[in-house]
Amino acid sequence: MATHGTLELFLAFGFNSVDLATYYVYESNNLTNYIYSTDSTIITNLTWFTTKSLTIFSNGNIDGTTQWVARIVEDHAANCYDPMSSNLGYAYSQQINQTIRATSTGSCTFTIVVSVQLTNGNYHSILDIINVNYKGDSNVRAIMGYQNNDSKLELFEFTEQTAMRWNKIIVYGNLVSFIIPRNGTLKVSYQSASYTPKLSPVFQEYGSGIFMSINYPDGDDVVNELGIELSLTCTMGYASYNITIIYADIPSNTSLQVSNGNIILDEFDQNVTFLSKVYYTDQYLSIQFVDSPSYIDQRFWDGFLIRYEAVHMEKPTTKSTNFVWLIILCSVIVFILMIAAIVYLIYRMKHREKYFEQLYDTLKDMHLSKDDIEALRTKSDEFLIDEKLLHIYFNNPLGQGSTSSVYKGHLEGTSPLHRVMKSIGTQCFVDCDVAVKVPGNFGQNEVQNLFQEIKAIKKIEYHNNV
């Protein structure tokens, strides 16, 4: 009974239905206002009636292979174009192609009713989503049922760009819906499928799909389904596989195994809820329940729903080798630089030592005591003459050699030597004229020569201007 809107009724006959009943449909709950009757020997696709109130009566044995689906159009098909004829699908044995558009007012729900068939002693509805194609913004969601907000019943999602990755999807369920965002247009091809316990999708660049047990999520089967398996093959080679276990009821003495064909990559032996993991394998990945004979018939089993999204990629071993080589190369360069720095430092220290040895000899000649010299060594920087205090008369060369020139200069104030020593021997180095030697270039040889020169000058006593 609909208290608002338009009530629609759909009849979906099952496969292998041996039904002796005739169905009568009345527009009231006291079997008055008869509107329709049918029996299962008439194979139709989908029939719908529109009324306010419906009662179905059967005069015979209903064997459960027939489904009646009712909806209130204004609720279920809100925001869909053409809601009265094209936004409920009926999966039968031949391929159906359907195009559904959402209006600009909101998202539109398109629901497929899947016919029932006898499988493994139970009645199941099995849908094969052959392919989807979508034009529009944001994501289309595929769900079990038609209005669920239970994330455990979310099948998969796609955008305009990723739609073509989703094909040959086997879903076990009577009602499967697509939630199409506003202004979006969905094209979907589908048909009923037979039971396929082993799925073996083969893909090139991308492989996306779901892998579920026939009983999910109802738990109306015992665990004699445990042999089912998903084996994925990437024909282009190496791929990453993002596996999301949406839910898996894993009974004791069984486990869910992820393997690459040779080695087990993962093994789950406890119930799993919402777990995403990425595996990388060469060409092949398999997911299967490992059966334990002692388990069979232990209890009802809630089954599992797993989503996978695989992408072909370059095998990272070569990349990682390159990466390793890069690291080695960097290490070698850093090592060489460190050695060079150490060598340079040692050279500098040696050089400095030599410089002090020569300075030491020079100072010894000036009759300074050992302690004084030691004090000088620690204050060696104080011997630098501030360039502001030294005036060099470059226009007045005193002499010119092959490696250096000597100019006349004037030192303003106290020379550092006298400042430090304060000795009588050095008191002449205050406000005095000096000779300034300017080397053409300056290296170790020049320094050595300079000291030799100073040594020689020392031996012949101070010249007034030196």
Ligand X SMILES: *[C@@H]1O[C@H](CO)[C@@H](O)[C@H](O)[C@H]1NC(C)=O
Which residue numbers belong to the known binding site? 422
> Which one, 96 or 406, has the nearer CB to ligand X?
96
- In sequence order, which ranges of 32-105 are alpha helices (DSSP H)? 73-76
Pick from 22, 58, 138, 242 the residue near ligand X by CB under 6 A.
242
> Which one, 298 or 405, has the nearer CB to ligand X?
298
Q: Quick one: tokens of 42?
A: 């008439």
Q: 79: closest CA among 189, 184, 187, 176?
A: 184
Pick from 22, 45, 257, 404 the residue near ligand X by CB under 6 A.
45
Pick from 29, 50, 194, 445 the residue near ligand X by CB under 6 A.
29
Q: Cα–Cα distance between 167 and 133 in angstroms, integer?
A: 10
Q: Number of C-alpha atoms within 13 angstroms, CB side, residue 29? A: 4
41 binds ligand X (CB under 6 A): no
Q: Among all chains, which residue has been given the structure tokens 């030691």?
A: 374
85 binds ligand X (CB under 6 A): no
- DSSP codes of every residue in 69-83: EEEEHHHHTTTBSST
Q: Cα–Cα distance between 253 and 238 in angstroms, integer?
A: 33
* Residue 201 CB, nearest approach to ligand X (Å): 17
For the chain, helix (H) and strand (E) counts, in that order, are 5, 27
122 binds ligand X (CB under 6 A): no
Q: 78: closest CA among 52, 105, 98?
A: 105
* Residue 311 CB, nearest approach to ligand X (Å): 9
Contacts of 161 by beta carbon, 8 Å cutoff, 6+ apart: none
Window 302-341: contact mask with ligand X (x via CB under 6 A): x----x-x--------------------------------
Q: Cα–Cα distance between 160 and 163 in angstroms, integer?
A: 6
* Binding-site residues from annotation for ATP: 422
Q: Among all chains, which residue has been given the structure tokens 């759909």?
A: 10
* Residue 255 CB, nearest approach to ligand X (Å): 12
Window 252-281: contact mask with ligand X (x via CB under 6 A): xx----------------xx----x-x---
56-64, 95-103, 330-338, 424-432 -> range binding ligand X (CB under 6 A): 95-103
Pick from 177, 183, 208, 259 the residue near ligand X by CB under 6 A.
183
Q: 100: closest CA among 177, 8, 46?
A: 177
Do residues 417 and 372 touch, judged by C-beta distance below 8 A?
no
Window 131-160: contact mask with ligand X (x via CB under 6 A): ----------------x-x-----------
27-35, 279-287, 317-325, 400-408 -> range binding ligand X (CB under 6 A): 27-35
124 binds ligand X (CB under 6 A): no
SS3 154: strand
Instruction: Kindly list the residues in this chain that would bind ligand X in the complex (CB under 6 A).
Output: 28-30, 32, 44-45, 90, 95-97, 104, 147, 149, 182-183, 189, 242, 244, 249, 252-253, 270-271, 276, 278, 294-295, 298, 302, 307, 309
